[in-house]
Structure 1
Amino acid sequence: MTYLDLIIDLFKNTPRQGPGSTAESLQALALMDLPNEALTIADIGCGSGNATLTLAQNTQSKITAVDLFPEFLDQLKINADKVGLIDQIKTLEASMDQLPFEKNTFDVIWSEGAIYNIGFKKGTKQWRKFLKPKGYLAVSEITWTTNDRPKELNDFWNEAYPEIDTAANKIKVLEENGYRLVGYFYLKPESWIKNYYEPLALEFDAFLQKHDHSEDAKAIVKEQREEIELYKNYQDYYSYGFYVAQKIIKTPSSN
């Protein structure tokens, strides 16, 4: 197995591939003034589909669930079939920066904890064309919650993801790329610890045993343990911000 294959193998059976909760997905959904009719939704970077299923259960929608890795999509289909939602969900194996959609296709584009793969600015700019006029974008994105941070934390995240920024600057990016902010909020600590990190940590021993404690497997577990410890130590300084914005209709004179 390659290093990437091992990472997928660790994460594919976890309930979530990033921080979040059903309650926070519904909180974001409630910020939208959606018509009471059938909707088209794209869930980009859906992983094994926790948010996808929440959207299917709480909207009249046809959802296109997009992920680069078929292992996650296979698990999503199993999960959807178990709860009788398979007919609402179409899976698509694709890169989020090469999406095969027509312009003005979706009422909602959703992406929890995944847009960092291509960058917040690039993702929001590229995906806008796939939204219908006045369609909604809902994304969760790693965000500083204070202006001043400990150097260790600042150095870690600026190396891992240089686009990490404050909510004010994330909102500015949205406004500069043809959206108006509808609302935003930060994920709660339990969405990180209880919903994401604790289930992930439960997989470590079995994962290491399965892969004979290989150097790559041990390195992956070490990285994850360090990230968990970092969050526990510095959770007051960063979180995921959940941003909900609406595509504005530009006038002919707009750039």
Structure 2
Amino acid sequence: MSNENKTIHEFDLNIIYDYFSNTERQGPGSADITLKALSFIEGLTEKSKIADVGCGTGGQTMVLAKNTASTIIGVELWADFITQFNQNAKNQNVQDRVKGVVGNMESLPFQNGELDLIWSEGAIYNVGFERGLSEWRKFLKQGGYIAVTENTWFTEERPAEIQDFWQKAYSEIDTISNKVAQMQKAGYLPIATFVVPDTCWTDYYAAQAVRQVAFLNKYQGNKTAEAFIDYQRYEATLYDKYKQYYGYVFYIGKKI
């Protein structure tokens, strides 16, 4: 099987997590984009509780912490990410109300109606957009919000190469209108959608290109690591070639 025909989930998880360790963000995004999405959320106070699902090392979580007075719980499957997350919270002096816990987004450690906001940047695809919206809804209070980024088609038709790549990598990729309809069907009032600018992607891939050199030196001769980097480089090449057809979209909804 060529690396172009694999998906990221077919690589050794230890390789993947090590590659993304000690990085501020594990996917395209920025503080400005996090703040833009946060601007659509009303009513957060020091009594509010936020869950950042698939928080990684907490780049976006720390932006939320600096711009709200709420309690924030980051949930991430990989323990090393949570260690880095909690250290980041200490570095930002927000550890009194921001905590990372090891957990599975398929079985979140919250009570029904406990949360005022569920946040998830670049992570809901791990359970699927529709499933995540539906299953996580019960954890929100009535009138609570959900805010997620999701890889999305910008056009109804696109070239076969990029269509085939994303259909295999993430079969739930769809158009904005269909994603909004899925949000409504799951029991939310769609509040806002906006496209994450391509600079977030190009900056992300540029930073990866630098990181890949050191990573390959660390894993010199490791065919699995080399194949993983080949896959990352192929994905970046596809984005540069086809970015007018797809990208992240922020979807913000309110539980009704």
TM-score, normalised on structure 2? Answer: 0.94
Report deviation, 1:35.
4.1
Report deviation, 1:212.
2.1
Report deviation, 1:160.
0.6
> Residue by residue, what CA displacement relative to the aligned partner does 1:193-251 show, whole Å, maximum 9, x if unpaired?
11x21222211111111122310010010000000111011110001010000000xxx
Alignment match, 1:210 = 218
What is the one-letter code of the residue matched to 2:53? I
Alignment match, 2:167 = 158
Q: Is residue 231 of structure 2 the alignment partner of residue 241 of structure 1?
A: no
The residue matched to 2:179 in structure 1 has which SS?
helix
The residue matched to 1:138 in structure 2 has which SS?
strand
- Count of residues paired in the alignment: 246
Greater Cα offset, 203-212 or 60-69: 203-212
The residue matched to 1:183 in structure 2 has which SS?
strand
Report deviation, 1:85.
1.6
Distance 1:61 1:217 in 2: 40
Q: Is residue 179 of structure 2 the alignment partner of residue 170 of structure 1?
A: yes
Alignment match, 2:63 = 54
Superposed, 1:65-214 pairs within 5 Å as: 65-194=74-203, 196-214=204-222
Distance 2:83 2:117 in 1: 23
Alignment match, 2:231 = 223
What is the aligned counterpart of 1:18 among 24, 27, 41?
Answer: 27
**Superposition misfits of 4+ residues, deviation over 3 angstroms:** none
Report deviation, 1:37.
4.0
Distance 1:178 1:100 in 2: 21
Question: Percent identical across equivalent pairs?
Answer: 44
Report deviation, 1:137.
0.2
For structure 1, the 5+ residue unaligned runs are: 249-255
The residue matched to 1:139 in structure 2 has which SS?
strand
> Residue by residue, what CA displacement relative to the aligned partner does 1:77-132 show, whole Å, maximum 9, x if unpaired?
12221121222212111110111211000000000000000000100000000000
What is the one-letter code of the residue matched to 1:81? K
What is the one-letter code of the residue matched to 1:63? I
Alignment match, 1:38 = 47
Distance 1:226 1:151 in 2: 15
Alignment match, 1:252 = none
What is the one-letter code of the residue matched to 2:186? N
Assess, with a 3 A threshold, how the Cα gap between structure 1 residues 36 and 14 changes in structure 2: closer, same or farther. Answer: closer
The residue matched to 1:47 in structure 2 has which SS?
coil
The residue matched to 2:61 in structure 1 has which SS?
helix
RMSD: 1.1
Q: Is the 8 A contact 1:39 1:59 kept in 2?
A: no
What is the one-letter code of the residue matched to 2:229? V
Alignment match, 1:253 = none
What is the one-letter code of the residue matched to 1:131? L
Q: Is the 8 A contact 1:105 1:132 kept in 2?
A: yes
For structure 2, the 5+ residue unaligned runs are: 1-10
Distance 1:100 1:35 in 2: 21
What is the aligned counterpart of 1:7 among 16, 30, 35?
Answer: 16
Q: Is the 8 A contact 2:149 2:250 kept in 1?
A: yes
